[in-house]
Amino acid sequence: MMMDKNAFFDSIRGQMIISCQAVKGEPLYEEERSVMYLMARAAKMAGTPAIRTSSIRDVEEIKAETGLPVIGLVKIQYPGYEGYITPTMKEVDDLLAAGSDVVALDCTMRKRGDGKTVNQFIQEIRDRHGDILLMADISNYEEGINAWKCGVDIVGTTMSGYTDYTPRLDEPDYELMRRLAADVDVPVIGEGKIHTPEQAVKALETGVWSIVVGGAITRPLEIATRFMSAIEAARGGRA
């Protein structure tokens, strides 16, 4: 059953959605079984209103564990596709079958292996699945405006700094959050490089509807490396 859009938006407004993801090559990824439902359990206990996760199995297990709304995506790299977040209709179909309440997809202007534009892909999803909730993962202002005009329900700043034409910042892209929040009339979710509670508060102060925090909470290798790097820098490389 499709989630009530307004009820979902109300539940996440001013809140932090927690991203619980592990892909191949990461310490918390297990081929035979997933442990992400445990991260999602902790996230629910902390009070998050929703979970963002990748892979079909994690969508299913996290929904079963938490009962929370899930923003689902699939990370997969196809030849000819520069984007890797839910790039084709197969992933959209699979996510909906698994129970994703929101489907997140790459809405950058990068090359698609099927030769279609992202605008065409969004329209095909609407034609096939109707009024499902779509979250556009974008990297700059123009992509955010384009996705909004194409009729997505949520615009997320997820890809800022992760395309070769956006700046690599050491902090969240507050300016992108601020501009999109002011200029589009659908919820904007601030996401990307939110590493501290202070940055989370500052991101919400840009006017975005809500934020997503992932690596700072649910990726232990990333967290440990950040601490180790800071200590090493403070020591000046001394043994």
Residue 236: its pLDDT value, please?
Answer: 83
pLDDT tens track for 76-114: 999 999 999 999 999 999 999 999 999 999 999 999 999
Fold annotation for 11-237: TIM Barrel (3.20.20)
pLDDT tens track for 99-157: 999 999 999 999 999 999 999 999 999 999 999 999 999 999 999 999 999 999 999 99
Residue 92: its pLDDT value, please?
Answer: 98
CA 161/CA 170 separation, integer angstroms? 9
CA 22/CA 238 separation, integer angstroms? 33
CA angle 22/168/139 to nearest 5° reads 70
Weakest mean pLDDT among 7-11, 31-35, 217-221? 31-35
Find the mean pLDDT for residues 221-230.
92
103, β-bridge pairs: 72, 134
Give the model's confidence band at 223: pLDDT under 50 very low, under 70 low, under 90 confident, else very high.
very high
pLDDT over 90 at 23, yes or no:
no
SS3 sequence of 134-195 = EEEECCCHHHHHHHHHCCCCEEECCCCCCCCCCCCCCCCCHHHHHHHHHHCCCCEEEECCCC
Decide: pTM greater than 0.75: yes
Residue 34: its pLDDT value, please?
Answer: 87
Beta-carbon contacts of residue 198 (< 8 Å; ≥ 6 apart) = none
Nearest to 188, CA basis, from 4, 17, 2, 7: 17
